[in-house]
Amino acid sequence: MRKKKGILNSVKKPLVVLVGALCCSAYAHAEPRNFVDQVTWLGGTSTDWHDATNWDSGLPTSSGVVMIRDGATVDITQPTGLVKQFYSNDATLNVTAGGVLLVDKTSSLGYEANTKTTVLVSGAGATISSNGSTGSGW
């Protein structure tokens, strides 16, 4: 005797594919957080990137995953050194004469829906460079 295919069996595979795709999509657009080497901007002292007291764990290093958000304004007026990843949300980043931001991997500007990051690059030698992907908004 042959078993009848029920409705569940006929939609099971497409449903699994759909759920998997939605999970991947949600992960790709989720707020980046809790990286091992995450360095978060506090900005309590000034707007100067190079002031270690503006960061929760000191100046970002080459293994640092930089997080800047919540209406912060950050000024880069000299080379920062290489950082691993850079994420900003609802922030303003000013790179002025002599300022250089080098990102080894991913950069994301405005990673939450309906937010933005303003990036101003002006003056001689002002540079932002990323070896990885750079995204803006979702």
Rounded Cα distance between 9 and 121, Å, is 57
**Alpha-carbon span 96 to 93, nearest angstrom:** 10
Residues 6+ apart with CB under 8 A from 23: none
Domain locations in the chain as residue ranges:
38-130
Q: Cβ-count burial of 64 within 10 angstroms (0-12 exposed, 13-18 middle, 19+ buried)?
A: buried
Alpha-carbon distance values, 84 to 11, 59, 102, 130, 133 (Å): 43, 13, 9, 9, 12
What CA–CA distance (Å, rounded) separates 95 from 121?
5
What string of pLDDT tens digits covers the 138 residues of the chain? Answer: 565 555 555 544 443 433 333 333 333 444 555 677 899 999 999 999 999 999 999 999 999 999 998 899 999 999 998 999 999 888 999 999 999 999 998 888 776 766 778 888 988 988 888 887 777 664
Rounded Cα–Cα distance for residues 39 and 55 (Å): 7
